[in-house]
Structure 1
């Protein structure tokens, strides 16, 4: 227990933050470049110093206790303030401009925490963020309109890239009704160059099922609403399936969906003065998204999880610690 003038090691909080993000001590060890035993010891030390249990082990890794949830919120704010202060007064001040592209489907989650954290840590960097379909982001990257982009690996035409996480695309339909059994499947999709659109139409074409895109929008929220209200079905990341929807699979007569990968790509040419800033953002994205993507373990309640048919957890890897 911390008493008197004792202080809490911020590195323990940084490690705890990564554990909360990845849900795995093993994945945290990889991100933090430490051994698994070192990460485990850090977490035990943090629990000892605070005299509270922060983590629960389960078959998929670790999850936060209620006290862990509280600490995570406070730790994020403390580290943000600390990093802003250090960056403002330290001799090594990064500057330059970073043009980042992210898929619209994941913008909300990245804007909740990761990007504000980067801006707080490096106030001297000008950050420009563009959201779009992965195909359009890939084209902007090739045209050097972006320095860095997170894209899904279908319909992009990009080679290489660093694997960040494996999304879990699923068919999603409204809770009520049987749109998925109609002779011509009604789809709610993004425009062309969207990987999830290609996954949906490709799966239906592979089994020769007719389909029609009756609702097309660049907004993921509009697509979700079209599904929730019973206009159409679509392909979403499993994490986006709300309680007003239900996942559909082969037992519902829907064809299997190919897996995809979210990768980090750099532009072929980046301004020399901005290269350190671009790499700083890339490193933060690696730390925050590796293995599990932008989803927070505490984003959904156990009730919501239970309402999602066949949900195997919160997506991504299933490391055991």
Structure 2
């Protein structure tokens, strides 16, 4: 029986990924910055290593075999992990303290994961943070109480967008709402971007509503929704299991999306803010994958 060697050779996996993406050895060679013959050799070595045919090649067409399709999933996962490790290990160590402000909805759902990752990557770096509504975060940023914030977009040019969050209607499962009913609306106190989008959607669809509860923070609006008082809008990845997305039968209008952004106060905290932004972005991608 032939002994199989180590399956992980990054050059071979990159060549295989490029061929699978481009469906062309010549174009793959351009992508990986080498010659076409070298790409062919790397694919051949990978196939010998696995003792499987991965690529079917004719004069007209390049395609993957069933084994090749299966291997592609593993190859891309390995390459992604390798790149993540490279970025983490080559990033210079950080020391000091970063003062951050985190938007309420993200803080209650994703912040523990962010803090855990940041602490693992930068054990000598400290964080001081506050949480709150978007408007409050901008106030404390302007007053230099924090160095960087994760908030909702105001459309300003100096903001760094991380991801977009689809807003959805949620409410308690006991709440039965018909398209002809006024919407019992639970919302943040004004000013609020989420509330503005919610009310604009209702107005655009000529759907009447009744303000049944208003609160200054997420804890309050969630408590009102959990009690069955009415419905509220929230980012889809922040939806809690105790509340359900409202069914189509309720006839509620689409709400659009909010953009989550990072804003900084000073270039003096640039490297630390960039590192924190990268962790936020990583967690956001995991949270929104498949939504």
Shorter-chain TM band:
0.5 to 0.7
Q: Which has the higher contact order (CA 8 A, sep 6+)?
A: 1
CA distance in 1, matches of 2:242, 2:111: 24
- Alpha-carbon RMSD across the aligned residues, in angstroms, is 4.0
Q: CA-to-partner distance for each residue in 1:63-112, whole Å, 9 max, x for gaps?
A: 9xxxx9xxxxxx9xxx9xxx8xx99xx9x642222121221111134333
Q: 1:239 to 1:93 in 2, by over 3 A?
A: closer
Give the alignment of 1:233-312 within 5 angstroms. Answer: 233-242=231-240, 244-248=242-246, 251-267=249-265, 269-270=266-267, 272=268, 274-289=269-284, 292=285, 295=287
**Which moved further from structure 2: 177-186 or 276-285?**
177-186
1:217-232 mapped onto 2 (5 Å cutoff): 217-232=215-230
Say whether 1:149 aligns with 2:144: no
Q: Deviations over 1:124-157 (max 9, x none)?
A: 322111111122222332333322222222xx46
Normalising by structure 2, what TM-score?
0.61
Q: SS of the counterpart of 2:144? A: coil
Any stretches of 5+ residues in structure 2 without a counterpart? 1-5, 11-20, 22-30, 33-42, 51-68
Asked whether the 8 Å contact 1:175–1:228 carries over to 2, the reply is: no
What is the TM-score of this pair, normalised by structure 1?
A: 0.56
Looking at structure 2, the residues matched to 225 and 242 of structure 1 have their Cα atoms a distance apart, in angstroms, of 12
- What does 1:112-261 align with in structure 2 at a 5 Å threshold? 112-153=112-153, 156=154, 158-179=156-177, 181=179, 183-242=181-240, 244-248=242-246, 251-261=249-259
Does the CA-based 8 Å contact 1:119-1:125 persist in structure 2?
yes
| Matched position secondary structure for 1:145 | coil
Computing the radius of gyration from Cα coordinates, the structure with the larger value is: 2
Q: How many pairs align?
A: 222
Tell me the distance in 1 between the aligned counterparts of 2:238 and 2:96: 34
Stretch of structure 1 that moved more, 173-182 or 193-202: 173-182
CA distance in structure 1 between the aligned counterparts of 2:114 and 2:101, rounded to whole angstroms = 14
Matched residues in 1 for 2:288 and 2:256: separation?
A: 24
- Return the alpha-carbon distance in structure 2 between the equivalents of residues 118 and 242 of structure 1: 24
Q: CA deviation at 1:242?
A: 4.6
